[in-house]
Structure 1
């Protein structure tokens, strides 16, 4: 009897060890799951928040685009657009330039300026010369197209953004006010019997090139070339229009809280 009772005591002790080990393993599994969830899940949630922030700014730039079209087309003196920065940076600068010229004109017509939102990573949302872009490095997409009419009378809308070059950042909402400049004529009409060239200096030159290539895939009325004195040169063939009109709008930009 004594010899038979010993194995039973060993089995009871084994069950106690098994329960302890099982508890430790389950607790370790739960702890690891929580740690992985917080590490990976919160990182993914943060990325989603940043992406949604940039999407909200993109929608605000869509409104900004429409507001500046009101100033250009309808002669509205000013328009204001609210943009929530959400930790990003909004900057106005004069690095981009668009120059229209023809041998039939007295001289070139040019405008400068763009407004850029620097978002998550290398993402930029840009407004320049009537168009809105979402950029990732040198590549991106055109969200809103410029105001361009092709036909017997070709109307090219040229937009210039001026004002104090400044940048604002932080987690707050700013008011971007565009006011038609009184120093520059809002409309500058020119007739042309010769080819018109558009020279573009812009960080968005790759997307501008794709836009003009898709506008005339056959290259019958528009020819696009890289290099030279500009980042991109676009040539409008005079044989494809009776008149070329430049609709020029200069806007002063003020950014305030």
Structure 2
């Protein structure tokens, strides 16, 4: 027979079990909330930064069209809004595009790029009529340059000048572009002399793919990376009837 003492022990065991169960459930809930908060918050922040870079990419798409207005239509100026969202936009002078008619001593050299510095190594760049999304030294071309390849080749060259200081922070910046010159420095009929384009750029790997693909599609174009420039593109004179180069010079500014 069990005595009253045995029943008392059973009641005590039940109380201990309920307390332990409550503690375990509470600990599980607290751990779940902590993990969700830590991981979820980091994931949310990453998603916000990625969306910011996507929004800037769309803004550079508008910037591309606005600068084309200066070149194609002779519009005197354009302005493009870019929400930085903690990123930074700068004007860079490192790029160089040198157009040379091998039958003459005339060479035209222009350059300059507008760069948004986003998450990590992500950069969104406007350069010589094209827009890039770069990750380190590699990336993709989002918008292609203004180049027509056929019996007549029409090439657009952009020269940009801009401020020395970058602009950053959680604000919207207005990127202004004012045309200062627009001309046709090359209008050549087919001859024995080729026209070459030498490119030095931080986006060289993407330019190489772009012109490599064109060279594979059109016998008017050949490309090499063997030389003093990052890339040398040759427009083969006996493969086209006429080569026309349009040049647009614009001054770039950043303002609130």
5+ residue gaps, structure 1? none
Please give the per-residue CA displacement for 1:167-205, whole angstroms capped at 9, x wherever unaligned.
Answer: 100000111111101xx4433233152211111000000
Partner in structure 1 of residue 195 of structure 2 = 196
**Alignment partner of 1:209 is 2:208:** yes
Moved more, 99-108 or 54-63: 99-108
Please give the per-residue CA displacement for 1:72-131, whole angstroms capped at 9, x wherever unaligned.
Answer: 000000000001111001000210000011222341111110010000010000000000
1:209-228 equivalences under 5 Å are 209-217=208-216, 220-228=219-227
Please give the per-residue CA displacement for 1:146-169, whole angstroms capped at 9, x wherever unaligned.
Answer: 000011110000011113322100
| Moved >3 Å (runs of 4+) | 184-187
Task: Report the alpha carbon displacement of residue 7 of structure 1 after superposing the two structures with TM.
Answer: 2.0
CA distance in structure 1 between the aligned counterparts of 2:169 and 2:106, rounded to whole angstroms: 43
Task: State whether residues 72 and 186 of structure 1, in contact with CA within 8 Å, keep that contact through their aligned partners in structure 2.
Answer: no
Match of 2:123, SS state, is strand
Task: State whether residues 184 and 244 of structure 2, in contact with CA within 8 Å, keep that contact through their aligned partners in structure 1.
Answer: no
Match of 1:86, SS state, is coil
Partner in structure 2 of residue 186 of structure 1 = 183
Task: State whether residues 91 and 115 of structure 1, in contact with CA within 8 Å, keep that contact through their aligned partners in structure 2.
Answer: yes
Task: State whether residues 182 and 246 of structure 2, in contact with CA within 8 Å, keep that contact through their aligned partners in structure 1.
Answer: no
**Corresponding pairs, count:** 254
1:61-76 equivalences under 5 Å are 61-76=60-75
Task: State whether residues 213 and 219 of structure 1, in contact with CA within 8 Å, keep that contact through their aligned partners in structure 2.
Answer: no
CA distance in structure 2 between the aligned counterparts of 1:53 and 1:34, rounded to whole angstroms: 27
CA distance in structure 2 between the aligned counterparts of 1:221 and 1:243, rounded to whole angstroms: 11
Match of 1:164, SS state, is coil
1:168-183 equivalences under 5 Å are 168-181=167-180
| TM-score normalised to structure 1 length | 0.95
Please give the per-residue CA displacement for 1:11-40, whole angstroms capped at 9, x wherever unaligned.
Answer: 111110001000100010011001100110
Please give the per-residue CA displacement for 1:210-248, whole angstroms capped at 9, x wherever unaligned.
Answer: 111112325732222114211111111112111111110
Partner in structure 1 of residue 50 of structure 2 = 51
Task: State whether residues 105 and 190 of structure 1, in contact with CA within 8 Å, keep that contact through their aligned partners in structure 2.
Answer: no
CA distance in structure 1 between the aligned counterparts of 2:45 and 2:215, rounded to whole angstroms: 42
CA distance in structure 2 between the aligned counterparts of 1:221 and 1:246, rounded to whole angstroms: 15
- CA RMSD of the aligned region, Å? 1.3
| TM-score normalised to structure 2 length | 0.95
CA distance in structure 2 between the aligned counterparts of 1:76 and 1:218, rounded to whole angstroms: 33
1:31-180 equivalences under 5 Å are 31-180=30-179
Task: State whether residues 74 and 182 of structure 2, in contact with CA within 8 Å, keep that contact through their aligned partners in structure 1.
Answer: no
